[in-house]
Structure 1
Amino acid sequence: MEKDKRNIQIIEWEHLDKRKFYLLGVCMTMMIRVSVYPFTLIRTRLQVQKGKSLYQGTFDAFGKILRAEGPAGLYRGFLVNTLTLVSGQCYVTTYELTRGYVSRYSSSNTLKSLLAGGSASLVAQSITVPIDVVSQHLMMQQRQGQSMGRFRVTTTGQAPPPGRPRPPPPRLFWGQTRDIVAQIFRADGVRGFYRGYVASLLTYIPNSAVWWPFYHFYAEQLANLTPKDCPHLLLQAISGPLAAATASTLTNPMDVIRARVQVEGKSSIRLTFRQLMAEEGPWGLTKGLSARIISATPSTIVIVVGYETLKKLSLRPELVDSRHW
């Protein structure tokens, strides 16, 4: 009994009531998105800016955006970004199904987590990248028609060209989104919506593949170091941010390149890397890392606690008493 309580049991896909799991999962994911989106926006702007031309760091960017653009400025592109809820559910489903498939051939939790995390990210990114491309361009929009990206939406307050009437006020969501979508399509065609797809895969597949094994590793180590009656949910809540910080640090260089490829319209990962190194040196590869970790820490705690709680709440009735919280 002592051994069972100390070991953190992983709830697998076949243990779940799927209807409960999906319904509660969508609600949980939306709450997480609302809480961490401002830091996602800040991270993207920090990664795209040249040097420290506009923002000195995460908190400087937060203050400047809040003063210049108001609270709404921290949520530019948010409604478009919520469409990635679909990819989130596809990610979870792929992760759990892949774990189940790999378990037929191997009992190694590290191998199952590695392959399942990578596969889940591949599926999710194929859905997410077009949404990310549009939402990131919306993130780059500032007041008075300024933009940090290639495209900008029509806004009030701009002087119209000579002989032309002043443009109408922007439609805050669909109007701006349609402007960006049309400009991306005119400039690059359908391929424009998958700009940075390879860079995204090279960023998020390793990130996901690394996060899950480290998450289980940290949870197991903490379980061995703490009393057997220590709540497993607490250990998992600590393990999540540790794994996120580890994965973020390892994959941040590719994340910087991905953001630049998608927002600046570059077509070559290698040339983007060379330009970044020439302009800013190796430190350029760490841009946005603090914002990434700051956004990942609370979100990962919420995700881990929410996800593990979600799985426990979604357990089939006959298995409820077999899991220690």
Structure 2
Amino acid sequence: MEMSSNARVQSVGHTEINWDKLDKTKFYVVGAGLFTGVTVALYPVSVIKTRLQVATRETVEKSVASVVKGILKTDGIPGLYRGFGTVITGAIPARILFITALETAKVTTFKMVEPLKLAEPTQAAIANGVAGMMASLSSQAVFVPIDVVSQKLMVQGYSGHEKYSGGIDVIRKVLKADGVRGLYRGFGLSVITYAPSSAMWWASYGASQRVIWRLLGYGSESQEGTPGQGTVVAVQAAGGIFAGATASCITTPLDTIKTRLQVLGHEKKPSATNVVKNLIKEDGWTGLYRGLGPRFFSMSAWGTSMILTYEYLKRLCARDA
């Protein structure tokens, strides 16, 4: 999701809604509802991606179509939402941490790079990249346990994985086997995956938007007036797709390794090195890119949806001057 400051082109008068101009209580309450709606729409993609990433050589379902068909045949539509309750419960505090850290870090970084007199796309890339990384780091303490529990639920009974009666059952068994540390399995890889991914997503989004605006003629003396709402939305969507493609292509191997580590049974505790060796042994180097299609779609669709939702939310929650 992208803040309106990144859609802003000062010379054409696109109005920015600053963080300090928002009704925070209304923002978090209304935002929880809006973002939950987006999560409902896109959650099945995460389930499909996770299934593809943990598939073994013996697994019959190795394509998106076969995974969907298998889930629907076994569990129907609810199967596409395994672990959803856990994600929604933990996503609200994680998202609050992320958004707050993102906004505050972005404002600070913009002020730090402004004296350098860099080109606008470069300045946007640096400020947004740093903010995205800081936001991701601050939310990992909440996000990783949610990730561990939800992914175990997503793959339960699939390709030999253990079955659970719900999120509480997963937590109980993980704590019994490995203690609190078990809920943070893959924490290092998660940080290594999501922090750079967040930085790349925000950096490429911020820079690409400004490049697109310039290609459209805004920000130059030859173009006057303010872009229409349809144009703004189109530019944001294009930037979101570009950002999703960039981040997913670079970070999918780490995400695949992390996912495999997190869903392994309690009796299996291989290292990241062993996971990499097994993936390469099964499918060659392309094994590291399992689930790339769904991950790319998820990051692009999720990012673009969040941008548009966030823009609407900020307008809705802006305080009167």
Distance 1:86 1:149, change over 3 A: farther
Does residue 114 of the first structure (1) align with residue 129 of the second (2)? yes
How far off its partner does 1:235 sit?
0.8
Task: Give the stretch that moved more between structures: 194-203 or 3-12.
Answer: 3-12
Deviation string for 1:64-120 (max 9, x for gaps)?
211221111111111011122210111011101111222342223222211110011
Does residue 261 of the first structure (1) align with residue 267 of the second (2)? no
Q: Retained in 1: the 8 A contact 2:47–2:154?
A: yes
Does residue 24 of the first structure (1) align with residue 30 of the second (2)? yes
Distance 1:5 1:315, change over 3 A: farther
Q: Which of 96, 100, 106 pairs up with 2:103?
A: 96
Distance 1:254 1:241, change over 3 A: same
Output the TM-score relative to the length of structure 1: 0.83
Q: Which residue of 1 aligns with 2:276?
A: 273
Task: Give the stretch that moved more between structures: 126-135 or 57-66.
Answer: 57-66
2 CA distance for matches of 1:247 and 1:25?
Answer: 25
Output the TM-score relative to the length of structure 2: 0.84
Query: What's the secondary structure of 1:317's corresponding residue?
Result: coil
How far off its partner does 1:132 sit?
1.1
Q: Retained in 1: the 8 A contact 2:55–2:62?
A: no
Aligned-CA RMSD value: 2.1
1 CA distance for matches of 2:253 and 2:260?
Answer: 11
Q: Which residue of 2 aligns with 1:226?
A: 216
Q: Retained in 2: the 8 A contact 1:261–1:272?
A: yes
Distance 1:87 1:75, change over 3 A: same
Q: Which residue of 1 aligns with 2:6?
A: none
Return the letter of the residue paired with 1:39.
V
How far off its partner does 1:200 sit?
0.6
Does residue 54 of the first structure (1) align with residue 65 of the second (2)? no
Return the letter of the residue paired with 1:254.
L
**Higher relative contact order, chain-length normalized (CA < 8 Å, sep 6+):** 2
Query: What's the secondary structure of 2:166's corresponding residue?
Result: helix
How far off its partner does 1:10 sit?
5.3
Task: Give the stretch that moved more between structures: 267-276 or 289-298.
Answer: 267-276
2 CA distance for matches of 1:147 and 1:184?
Answer: 18
Does residue 306 of the first structure (1) align with residue 309 of the second (2)? yes
Distance 1:75 1:12, change over 3 A: same
1 CA distance for matches of 2:66 and 2:203?
Answer: 34
Aligned pairs (5 A) from 1:55-70:
55-70=61-76
How far off its partner does 1:148 sit?
3.7
How far off its partner does 1:182 sit?
2.0
1 CA distance for matches of 2:113 and 2:11?
Answer: 24
How far off its partner does 1:215 sit?
0.7
Instruction: Give 1 or 2 for the bigger CA radius of gyration.
Output: 1
Q: Retained in 2: the 8 A contact 1:26–1:89?
A: no
Query: What's the secondary structure of 1:103's corresponding residue?
Result: helix
Report % sequence identity.
Answer: 34
Q: Which residue of 1 aligns with 2:201?
A: 211
2 CA distance for matches of 1:238 and 1:103?
Answer: 23
1 CA distance for matches of 2:35 and 2:58?
Answer: 33
Does residue 243 of the first structure (1) align with residue 233 of the second (2)? no
The total of aligned residue pairs comes to 291
Q: Which residue of 1 aligns with 2:140?
A: 125
Deviation string for 1:236-290 (max 9, x for gaps)?
1221122112111110010000001101154522332233223321101110010
In the alignment, structure 2 segments of 5+ residues that lack a partner are 1-8, 115-122, 219-226
Q: Which residue of 2 aligns with 1:76?
A: 82
How far off its partner does 1:6 sit?
4.3
Does residue 151 of the first structure (1) align with residue 162 of the second (2)? yes
Deviation string for 1:284-308 (max 9, x for gaps)?
1110010112223332221111112
1 CA distance for matches of 2:21 and 2:280?
Answer: 49
Task: Give the stretch that moved more between structures: 65-74 or 252-261.
Answer: 65-74
Distance 1:271 1:225, change over 3 A: same
Task: Give the stretch that moved more between structures: 50-59 or 212-221.
Answer: 50-59
Return the letter of the residue paired with 1:36.
L
Q: Which residue of 2 aligns with 1:134?
A: 149
2 CA distance for matches of 1:270 and 1:6?
Answer: 52
